[in-house]
A and B are shown apart, each in its own frame.
Chain A
Amino acid sequence: MATEAQGAGDGGLVFHPMDQFMVKPLFGAGEVGFFTLTNVTLWMALTVAAIFALLVLGTAGRATIPSRTQSIAELAYDFVRKMVEDVAGKDGLVFFPYIMTLFLFILFANVLGLLPMAFTTTSHIAVTAVLAMMVFLTVTIVGFVRHGAGFLSLFWVSSAPLPLRPVLALIEVISYFVRPVSHSIRLAGNMMAGHAVVKVFAAFAPMIIISTGIGLLVTPLSILAIATIYALELLVAFIQAYVFTILTCVYLKDALHPHH
Chain B
Amino acid sequence: MASEPQATESASGLPQLDFSTFGNQIFWLLVALVVIYFILSRVALPRIAAVLAERQGTITNDLAAAEDLKVKAVEAEEAYKKALADARTEAQKIVAETKAAIKADLDKANEKADQEIKARTAEGEKALAEIRDGALEAVRDVAKDVTAELVSAMGGKADGRSVSAAVTARMKG
User: Contact partner of B40 among A45, A55, A131, CB < 8 A?
Assistant: A55
Chain A residue at smallest Cβ distance from B1: A2
| Distance A218 CA – B130 CA, assembled complex (angstroms) | 145
| Distance A165 CA – B123 CA, assembled complex (angstroms) | 137
B2/A3 in contact, CB under 8 A: yes
User: Contact partner of A2 among B2, B25, B54, CB < 8 A?
Assistant: B2
B26/A59 in contact, CB under 8 A: no
A34/B40 in contact, CB under 8 A: no
Min CB gap A251→B, angstroms: 18
Chain A residue at smallest Cβ distance from B54: A64
Range class of the B interface residue count: 35 or more
Range class of the A interface residue count: 35 or more
Cβ contacts under 8 Å, A186 to chain B: none
Min CB gap B49→A, angstroms: 8
User: Contact partner of A101 among B17, B23, B37, B47, CB < 8 A?
Assistant: B37
Q: Report B1-41 CB contacts with A as 1/0, cut-off 8 Å.
A: 11011101100001111101111111111111101110111
B26/A130 in contact, CB under 8 A: yes
| Distance A36 CA – B55 CA, assembled complex (angstroms) | 46
B52/A121 in contact, CB under 8 A: no
Cβ contacts under 8 Å, B35 to chain A: 48
A188/B32 in contact, CB under 8 A: no
- Chain B contact residues, CB within 8 Å of chain A: 1-2, 4-6, 8-9, 14-18, 20-33, 35-37, 39-41, 43-45, 47-52, 54-55, 58
- Chain A contact residues, CB within 8 Å of chain B: 2-3, 5-6, 18-19, 21-24, 29, 31-36, 38, 40-41, 44-45, 47-48, 51-52, 55-56, 59, 62-64, 66, 70, 73-74, 77-78, 96-98, 100-102, 104-105, 121, 123-127, 130-131, 134, 188, 192
28 A–B contact pairs at CB < 8 A? A19-B5, A21-B14, A23-B15, A29-B1, A31-B20, A32-B24, A34-B27, A35-B27, A40-B24, A40-B28, A56-B44, A59-B47, A59-B51, A64-B51, A70-B51, A78-B52, A97-B37, A100-B40, A101-B33, A104-B36, A105-B36, A121-B29, A126-B16, A126-B21, A126-B29, A127-B29, A130-B29, A134-B33
